[in-house]
Structures are given as C-alpha cells and as structure tokens.
Structure 1
Amino acid sequence: MSTEPSAAPGAPSARPARRPAAVLAYVVAALALALLLGTAGPAGAADDKPGQRIAEGLRKSPVYVDPSYRQAFPADQQRRLAKKIKASGIPVRVVVVPFISGDAWGGEPDKMVDVVRDRLGESKQREAVYMTLSKSEGFLNGYEFPRDGKHQAFWGVAAVGHQEDMDGKSLYAKFSRALEIVKSGNGDKQYEQATKDLDRSGTPSADEDGAEDADGSSPLLLAALIVPALAVLVVAVLVYRARRSRTSTRAPFTSPRSVFATARKAGVRDLRKRAQRELLTYNEELLAHEPGDSAADGEEAADTDLLQLSLDAYAAAGTVLDNARDIPDLAGVLALLHEGRDALRRSASTGSARSTAALPLCFFHPLHGPAAERVRWRPLGRRESLDVAACGDCAAAVAGRRAPEVLTQAHEDRRIPYFEVPPEHSLWAATGYGSLTEDTLTERVLRGDFTRTR
C-alpha cells in the first residue's frame, strides 16, 4: 500500500514540531491520502468521495491506479497504457482498485463503475468502455456503454483471464491485451476460443453470474445455479449484520481480534491482503477520530503528540507494507497499526486514561494479537531474562515453564525464532515488536531503521 510517509526512510530522526497547526496540516494530508485510497467506505454508505477521487483521476488520464497497486502497476506502465488507449480512438477507462466487502461499493466492480460514471456526468448513451479488476484474482472485467455496444467488451475483456499466455503476466500486459481485443471488436469469439476446453456445464464464475447467456445455456440451468447462490448470499449478509450488531459496542480503536485469529495460519499472500484491509480500515478510523477536549495546555500538547503519533503510524505502516517480503514484516504492519490505534484511543480519552499506553502485540508471536501482561522470560540456554509483553496463552506457557509458540523467520537457510535473527538484520528482532524498546516502532520505521536492517 503506497503512502507518503512524513519522513523518508533513512532521513534524520528529527520529528515535526508539536503544534496544533502542524498537526492540522498533517490531518489534511492524511485526508488526501484517504481519498486516494478510495475503497474504505462502508457498504451502502452515501459517501461518494472514493468515486469522486477516481473520477477526478480519470479526467487527467484514462488509467487510474489505486496506491495499493502502484508497485504492481508502476507509473511508467500506466503512461504507456494511457498512450495506447488514446491511440486506439476508443473511450476506454482503466480503473485498478481493490474490491473488499464493506467498501464504498460493497465490493462490486459494476457498482464502482456506475458511481464513477455518475461522478463523471456520463449519460447512459455515451460511448465508453471500462476495464477493472475482477473479484476473482487473475481475471479482468469489462463494461461497455451503451450496453449493446460494438466493441464486445464484456466477454472480450473476460477472455484475457482464460488465455494461457496471460497466466502470471503483469497488470500492464493483461490490460494491454484487453485493449487489443476491444479494438478488434471480436470479444465474443475470443472468449469462446479461450474457454473452448472448459466444461460448458460448469458453473460460471462469481463475476459472470447473471451475465447474458453467451453460449445458449438453458435458463433453467442458470436458475438452478443462481438461486442457491443467492440464498447463500442472503444468509451471509444476515450473519455479517448480526456480527456487526454484536460487536458495535466494542472500543472503536482496538485491533480486531479476528484478524489475528485468522492471520496465524495465513500465508504471506493472504496476510498481505489482510494487512492491506487493516490499513484501509485504520484510514477510516483516522478520518472519524475526534480528539478529546483538553482544558489545560499540557493536555492539549499531549493530544497533539498522540495525534501526531497516530498519523505517523499510518505512514510507517504503509512504508513497511510497501517493502514487506515475509510474514514477520507483515506482522510489523499490524504492530504499527496497533500502535496508531492506541494513540487514537488515548487522544480521545480524558483524565488519567490519557497517559495509559496499551501493551504492544505479543512478543513471542505478534499474530496472537495484543499482549495481556508483561512477563519475565529467560531464553533457553541463557542466564539473563527479559521483560516482554505476552498474550494470555504465552504468559501461561512461560509461567508453566513451557515453550510458548513463537513466530519463525528464514535466516541463513534455516528457520529460527524471529528474535534470534541478528538485530542489525531485523528491526523486529531489535524491538520485539515493541517489547524491547522505549521508543515507538513508528519512530524507528520513519527514521529508516526498517530499511537499514533489510
């Protein structure tokens, strides 16, 4: 997830002045970043800022890429694709944004397209072709207006995901191929060619449910497939709403425990997606945050410091996510977001609670979630002991003289506990995800420690 950190990696550790005006300017910058992210609004919300941001981007270029995809789709490739689109003479718009359940368009690409077209003021009869990512990874979606247009974009763009030579190719290569098919105007034929080896009786993909019957399949067959799927969808929505209602009274700035519960068994790819979603969620929390009322100058200064930390944590988490290459790095993203959320909680509180910092994530395995207490722990084979933060399970293991579950990392062709990696090679080993240092993880990342230890 691409963000603009408040200090470039490797820069001196001087921090901005703690003045309300400086923080206000930072808040404005954070708001701008939030608009660029453009996907974190709740489903069904009236907030159309993400759609407006995409529309503004498309007025400048026919290719809009969300910051979370800028590494996968670099700026130079965006410009090259934009030139191809302009040379084609076809009003093609490419929108590359993530689709997440609960975002501004309910995770539905077609709804995003409708919102963006509305923000652009395009009539239903105005010719346009939109290309987006699909909800199914590796595939693309095409939308043509008017619906019965001459470019056959719906099936033509979908064909790219089924073409063997496109497997594993870059986003630039896939969208370029989709543009070629749209230019040829024979998308239906290309889709049939790309899928000729598929079993025609198989179920359509999630993005093709409800689409026109391109190969003449029986409507009864489609109904038999779609109706059960809709029933499952309705149940899923009801369960989701019920869970939302049960959890609505929780503190707003605590790291969702469900993230940690599922992340423990996730691979790098899945955990990266979870970290991206958490960064988007935290962005929303920043926008919704209202600092506590401060009567005294000292409390106002404390609010300013905490707000600055929460904003810095957002930038630091984005920096680590951009460069994360393994699970310990992605766990670091969650640790930074936990740190930022705690700063938000404290700035919204009053009295003695303001200065009470939460414990960091579990030292032994940060994907266990926030620590419950601090414990004295002596590593096997060593005389000295450490004071570390531990979750309930790990604290019980230490108290019972049992080995707690630990996060491992590959180092010199073998897997070892992450904290046994030489600290000069790992920020996480040097800090224990916040257990072993007085300064914050956010400060360490923004002054360049994460980059220097890689």
Structure 2
Amino acid sequence: MKAALVRTLVRLLIVPVAAVLAALMVGAPGAHAATDLSRVAEALRESPVYVDPEATAQLSEADAEALADKIEDADKPVFVAVLPADYPTENLFQNLRTETGVTGLYGIRLGDEFDARADSSVLSRQAVDNLVTAVRGAGDAKAQLNDFVDDALRNVGGSAPSTWTDGSGGDGVPTAALITTGAVLAAGGAGAYALARRNRRRHAEEQRAALERLRVVVDEDITAFGEELDRLDFHPGEPGADDAMRADYEHALDAYEQAKSLMAAATKPEDVRAVTQAVEDGRFALATLAARREGRPLPERRPPCFFDPRHGPSVVDATWTPPGGATREVPVCAADATRLADGRDPVIREVDTEYGRRPYWDAGPAYGPWAGGYFGGGILPGLLIGTMLGSMMATPSYAADYGAGYGDFGGYEGGDLSGADFNTDDFSGGFGGGDFGGGDFGGGGDFGGGF
C-alpha cells in the first residue's frame, strides 16, 4: 500500500534519531521519564497504533504498521497504545480519551497486561468486557493485539477519524524528516489519499444504494397517504364542517407536504425516519377527521398497524407468532385483528430484496429508520425481537451506520472529534490505584470499576 509505504519511510528516518536519544537516556541515571500522555494522544490522532519508544520490544515497527493498516482499511475508530510496564496508570484511559478527543474504542497494552475502554456510543460495556476477556492470555503482544483488533473491527460502530487521512505528519514526525520525504509524499500523495478514502467511499455508496431501495417503499407510503386524502373528499367549506375538522385536515395536508419535502431532501437511510413520522402523524389526523365527520368517538393515539403501516392506526394489540419466532403482542388494524382471530395470516408489508419479496423486518438494515419513524418511543425493540432487523438494531455499529431507528443511543458517533465532551464513566476505573493486571481490571473492561 502506498499509504503504508509513506509511513514506513518516515518512520525509518526517525528510528536512528530515536535510538540515539534512547542510548543517551540510558546513559543518564534518572533521565528516563514516561512519554507525556499528550504526545501519545497526538500520535493516535494521526495513526491508530502508538508504540512507546520504551516498549518497542513488545511490538516491532513492522507489526505496528501492519496493525495500523488493518484498522485504517476497516475505517473504524479503534486505537491501540503499547506502553512500558511502569507507565503511570492513574486515570490513564480517561486522560488519554480527554487528550485524544476522539470517540472510539481504546486498547492499551501495558507491559504484559491489556485492557480496553470505549465510548458507549460505539461499543457497549459488556461488549468491551467480552473483547478484553477473549484476548487475555493470548500470548505475545503481536498475537494479543491482532486478536483484539480483529474482534473489535467486527463489533465497533462508527468510522475512523478524519485526522488519520488529513495528510498531516503521523507519529509526531519532525519537520526535517518531512522535508526529506517530501518528494516521496508528493509522488504518492494522490494515490495514498485515494486508498485511505476507499472504505469511506464504499460506505457512502452502500448508504446511497440503501436509500434508493428504501425510496421506493417510502414513495409508496406517501402515495397511499395522498390517496387517503383524496378518498376522504373533505372540503373545508362543506356543510357541517367546523374549525376542529378544518384543523385536522390542514394538519394532514401539512404532513403530506412535509413528507414529500423531507424525502426529496434525504441523503442517507436514517433521514427516512422523519418522513415516516410525518406520514404517521398525518394518517392519525385523517382518522381523527373521519371520526368527527361521522360523529364517532375520537380515536386513541396508537401506533400504526405493525404488519403494514399503510393500514392506518392500530385499534388493538394482538398476539402473533412469526414463523420460527417467539410470540409477542403487536399493534394491529381492525382487519388484521379479525384475520388473526380467525386463524388466518395477516396482510404483511413485503418489499423487494435480492432474495425476492420479504417482510420489511427481514429486508435489510435500512428499514430500521423507516420502521422507527412509525414505531418510535421504545415500542419497536419488542416488536422486532427475533427478526433480522431487530438483531441488527440492537448493536452500536447499526446505530452508527443507520441511526438508532428507535430511541437514542446518545453520544457522538465513532471518529467524531468530541474533545472533552464524553461520559467519563465510560473510561474510569481499572487503572486507578494500580489495579492493572492480575485479572482485577475494573471487571475486565467494565466501566466505572466494579461492574
């Protein structure tokens, strides 16, 4: 890789100088001091792997480079630091996260011990705990850190920070070294930049493709809503119309126009949540208007029919067991409630997938925001238990790629430059008081100690 070649050439220029400095420090009693944490953080803002000069015996330059390339190619906010065994441990994770200012997952190898912490927006406490437990006792630093990174890249949410590809120097590279390698950087700069941006482009293309597939379904929803408006055939000046009816009708019209406008402006799947929220709100306004005109009691505000939101607001919760799944209560329209009571199948919303027509909950991750707009407020997880979409939406990586869909995972997404604005509980515990190692690491990756 050109990017890897550039970093390697720069580091080769630095190594002799570092070796001389290290030799001078060895020869001077009391001269050794731990690398300042701000320098470690500066290096991690430029590259995902930092190896302290006093810890190079643990992880060679070539192995560190290969590990960094793996993380950068995956485009995930995973940071690895290899520090000497006697490095100060008090508040180490919290202070490193503050100095770095980047949301992500941080793994630290300290001598022969290892632990990790993460912003909960990219990886849950339990997931970090599991990752750390899985690699403890994995052998030497190279094996352990590669295992950790491989597992982490499959689970962590978000994207790599833009500072890894902004063209700045890397591991605190001196100006002289940059000048020396200027010709190489100039020759390979375009190619290196293109390579580093490959995964981000691919992700953006996948998001655009998902949005276009989703657009077909959302347009069907908006069209169906517009047809409902036409069928109602309400005229604000008709006999018997009052201000409440006119307000309902205006609300429905506004929701229809808002849905069209929001969908036209959508650039990623998570933008669709606002569209389906508008459609759901407009449909309820129509149901309220119909009840007023017919002299019926006003409907209770309920979520739409689970099987197909185009059926309109639900009227009751019914027991339903999907094929091969667990029984759950779902909101249903009157027609589907009757079908279920008669032992018949409900009319389920199916959409086109590469495997043919499938229910929306088995059609792919982009339908999370679509369903979240209809079934927000915490109801959706219970409805989707055991489905493909439900399993996806329960992961932080899904939230980072498609939005939470329901609820709010909170925080910044991985790779965001959030500075000191983060939950310190995510990074506290463990190192404080010298508890590093011996299996007593604040619960092996748990946050806040003792969880």
Q: Compute the TM-score of the two structures, normalised by the length of structure 2.
A: 0.28
Q: Which has the larger radius of gyration?
A: 2
Q: Compute the TM-score of the two structures, normalised by the length of structure 1.
A: 0.28
Pick 1 or 2: higher relative contact order, CA cutoff 8 A, min separation 6: 2
